[in-house]
Every structure is written in C-alpha cells, then in structure tokens.
C-alpha cells in the first residue's frame, strides 16, 4: 500500500477560494459541494472524520455562510455526510470500500464474481403475470407466469445496487426462495437448466426514486446507473429480465473496444459483448 506524501495529503484536503469560480453558471454552493464531495471520495476526509465547520468553510472559500450551508445540506442529501447539532458534520462515505467492476468483455464472469463477493438481501419475491411490455422484451406471451424478485446488494456492509428480476415461472420453480437469499442468480439459473449464453443490455443514468433511494440509503433524486439486461439461453429464449440500479461511486462498467477497420470510428461491437 502506498502511503501518501505530505504534499499529496495536503492536496487531498486543500480547500481554498481558487477552487471555485463565481463567473461560472454553476452556483457557488454546488461548486463547493463538488469540491468537498471529491475530497471525500479521494479519501482526504475518511469515514468518521469531522468536516470543518460552516464558519471555517466560509473563511476558507471566502463565501457567505448561507452558501456553505447549502453545500453541506447537499452533501448530506447525497449520503456523503450526516449533520449533528453540537458534534458537527460527520463523513459517512467510505472511500476505502472496493468498487465493483462489470466488464463487457467478460460479462458472465463478472456477474458470477459479483454474486460470490457481495452480500444479498431479498426484499421481495412473488408470482406475477407478465405485462405487455415485459412480454414483448422477453418474447413471451402476455400474462404468462413470472417470478418477480427484488434484491439489495452490499459490499463490506455498504449498499451499492438495487435489483429487480423477472424469471419465467417454469425456471424459477426449480429453486427456492431461500436459494434466492444465498445463491447468485446466475448459479441458480445454471442449476435450473437455464444457463445464460447471451444478453441484450442497455445502460442509462436515472434519478433515484424514493423507494429505491430508501433501500440504498441515498437521497431521492440522487444519480444512479441503470442497467437493463435480458438474458437468453442457448435456444434463444429469455431466462431472466433484470433492471439493476447502481450507486455510481460503488460501481463502474469497463468496455474493451477493438478497431475493426482503417476508417476513423470503425469499432467492432462484437468484441464488446
């Protein structure tokens, strides 16, 4: 492990007026929020540390106290700190917690690895009928039976993903609800004779809905990475539909692009899936 030098440590906690710019369209309070957020993410202020008080931050950034107060409230709203009367503002974000990485070039290995290295909490499990939208995406008959399961994943006690899965009932009936609490989904599908060999996937950014935000212990409206994936077996039939919401500071996606031709921008997508 590399021990940061005094200069590096100072840079990780440096707070000064030159870090913000009142000529920018971004409000000053949000600029201060971004600076403090980055200092926390970089480990300059580790979990459990007390941030400088509002009066000190007002002096360091040379701004009004109401500007600092709004920045601190935004930090709290995004789950980086908690504020306590008489104690101060305490950092809750753990910058040393490992970041889970998914990869396009090793998709299924990454999913298996995530299942083995993370902890799962089963929030819901029920039998439902496929909506028209789900049936269309999974190439199933509308109204067919599906198992809907909602799970929360954590890594070293820190939540990072909220997962909503739908599996055809004839497959889901081959494993138990207890299995859902303890086994990776890809392993359950394999044991049920529905091992996945390909997937259609889309990645977008969304704002956290209140229910999901509560489960992930973040503020409503906080940014999330949303991944929708339709898993298919060797016969081309859908064996799982999953929508996963990831905290962006706890999950990243890696892509490997391979140049296919001489023309600029000519990349092979086949090498990414």
Task: Render pLDDT for 37-92 as a digit per residue (tens, 0 to 9).
Answer: 888 877 888 888 999 999 999 999 999 999 999 999 989 888 889 888 878 899 98
Closest CA to 108 of 225, 197, 234: 197
Tokens of 108: 């299924």
Q: What is the average pLDDT across 143-153?
A: 94
Go through 101-125 and write b for each residue having 16 or more CB atoms within 10 A of its CB, e for each that does not. Answer: ebbbeebeebbbbbbeeeebeeeeb
pLDDT value, residue 117? 64
Mean pLDDT of the chain: 81
pLDDT value, residue 113? 57
**Domain at 100-258: CATH code:** 3.40.1410.10
Residue 155 scores a pLDDT above 60: yes
Q: At what angle do helices 65-77 and 54-61 cross, to 10 degrees?
A: 110
pTM over 0.85: no
Cβ 30 vs Cβ 68: under 8 Å:
no
pLDDT value, residue 249? 74
First to last CA, the chain: 34
Tokens of 9: 């440590």
Q: What is the average pLDDT across 7-27?
A: 77
Strand 158-168 with 145-155, pairing: antiparallel
- Range of lowest pLDDT (12-16, 98-102, 194-198, 236-240): 98-102
Q: At what angle do helices 54-61 and 28-41 cross, to 10 degrees?
A: 110
Task: Name the residue ranges covered by the structural domains of the chain.
Answer: 6-91, 100-258
d(CA 92, CA 80): 5
pLDDT value, residue 272? 35
Q: Which residue has the higher pLDDT, 23 or 96?
A: 23
pLDDT value, residue 266? 56
pLDDT value, residue 264? 53
Of the chain, the percentage scoring pLDDT greater than 90 comes to: 36
Alpha helix segments (H runs only) across the chain: 6-13, 28-41, 54-61, 65-77, 107-117, 132-138, 169-172, 177-182, 185-191, 210-216
Q: Which residue has the higher pLDDT, 268 or 235?
A: 235
Residue 116 scores a pLDDT above 60: no
d(CA 130, CA 167): 10
State how far the alpha carbon of 239 is from the alpha carbons of 185, 189, 192, 246, 260, in Å: 11, 8, 10, 22, 32
CATH topology of domain 6-91: Arc Repressor Mutant, subunit A (1.10.10)
State how far the alpha carbon of 194 is from the alpha carbons of 140, 163, 165, in Å: 16, 19, 15
Q: What is the average pLDDT across 158-172?
A: 92
Residue 1 scores a pLDDT above 50: no
């Amino acid at each position: 492990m590399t021990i940061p030098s005094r200069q590096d440590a100072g840079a990780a906690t440096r707070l000064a007026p030159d870090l913000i710019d009142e000529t920018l369209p971004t409000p000053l309070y949000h600029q201060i929020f971004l600076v403090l957020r980055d200092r926390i993410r970089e480990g300059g202020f580790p979990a459990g540390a007390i941030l400088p008080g509002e009066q000190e931050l007002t002096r360091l950034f040379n701004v009004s106290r109401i500007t600092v107060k709004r920045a601190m409230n935004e930090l709290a709203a995004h789950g980086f700190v908690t504020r306590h009367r008489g104690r101060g503002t305490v950092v809750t974000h753990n910058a040393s917690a490992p970041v889970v990485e998914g990869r396009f070039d090793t998709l299924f290995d990454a999913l298996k690895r995530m299942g083995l290295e993370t902890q799962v909490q089963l929030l819901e499990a029920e039998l439902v009928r496929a909506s028209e939208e789900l049936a269309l995406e999974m190439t199933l008959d509308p109204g067919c039976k599906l198992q809907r399961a909602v799970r929360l994943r954590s890594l070293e006690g820190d939540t990072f993903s909220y997962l909503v899965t739908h599996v055809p009932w004839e497959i889901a009936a081959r494993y138990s609800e207890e299995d859902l609490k303890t086994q990776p989904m890809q392993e359950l599908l394999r044991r049920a004779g529905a091992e996945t060999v390909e997937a259609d996937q889309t990645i977008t950014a969304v704002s956290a809905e209140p229910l999901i935000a509560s489960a992930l212990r973040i503020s409503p409206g906080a940014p999330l990475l949303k991944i929708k994936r339709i898993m298919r077996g060797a016969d081309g039939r859908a064996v799982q539909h999953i929508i996963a919401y990831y905290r962006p500071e706890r999950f990243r996606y890696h892509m490997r692009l391979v140049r296919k031709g001489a023309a600029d921008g000519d990349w092979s997508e086949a090498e990414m899936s």
